[in-house]
Structure formats: C-alpha cells, structure tokens
C-alpha cells in the first residue's frame, strides 16, 4: 500500500459553479440556521450553485458571511 499523499490546495476550475473558501467550514451550522445550504469539506466552506440560484442567493450568502 502506498503512503498517503498530502492534499493539494484547492484550485479554481473555470466554469465551475462550486466555490470553496478555505478556513470557513466552521460557519456551516450558522449559515444552515440562516437557511443557506453549504457544506464543510475538510475545513473549507463549500457552496455549489445551480441554474435556479439567483444573484440574490449569492448576496444572501455574502451578507451572512459578512455579518
């Protein structure tokens, strides 16, 4: 069995609707209580956007993170 490898830092993927913010995964519960669906992936706050999301949804997430 090969030894485990270190994980590479997140890289942006052109055209990907997934956003991961390092170090903010601990805010997932707070955002969930505000009605915002995100996940904590290895300490990264992960938001996945889809066609039905609007700019208002993005603003709601950003405002919750800022507040």
How many whole angstroms separate alpha carbon 27 and alpha carbon 54? 22
pLDDT greater than 70 at residue 13? no
pLDDT in tens, 32-64: 999 999 999 999 999 998 888 899 999 999 999
Q: Which is higher by pLDDT, 7 or 61?
A: 61
For the chain, percent of residues with pLDDT exceeding 90: 61
Domain ranges within the chain, ordered by starting residue: 18-66
**What value does the mean pLDDT of the chain take?**
86
**pLDDT at residue 67, as a whole number:** 83
Exposure string for 30-57, b = 16+ CB within 10 A, e = fewer: ebeeeebebebeeebbbbeeeeeeeeee
**pLDDT at residue 51, as a whole number:** 84
Beta strand residue intervals within the chain, DSSP E: 18-22, 39-41, 44-48
């Amino acid at each position: 069995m090969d030894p485990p490898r270190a994980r590479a830092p997140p890289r942006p993927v052109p055209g990907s609707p997934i956003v991961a913010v390092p170090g903010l995964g601990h805010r997932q519960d707070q955002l969930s209580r505000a009605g915002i669906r995100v996940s904590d992936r290895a300490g990264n706050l992960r938001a996945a956007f889809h066609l039905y999301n609007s700019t208002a949804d993005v603003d709601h997430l950003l405002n919750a993170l800022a507040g």
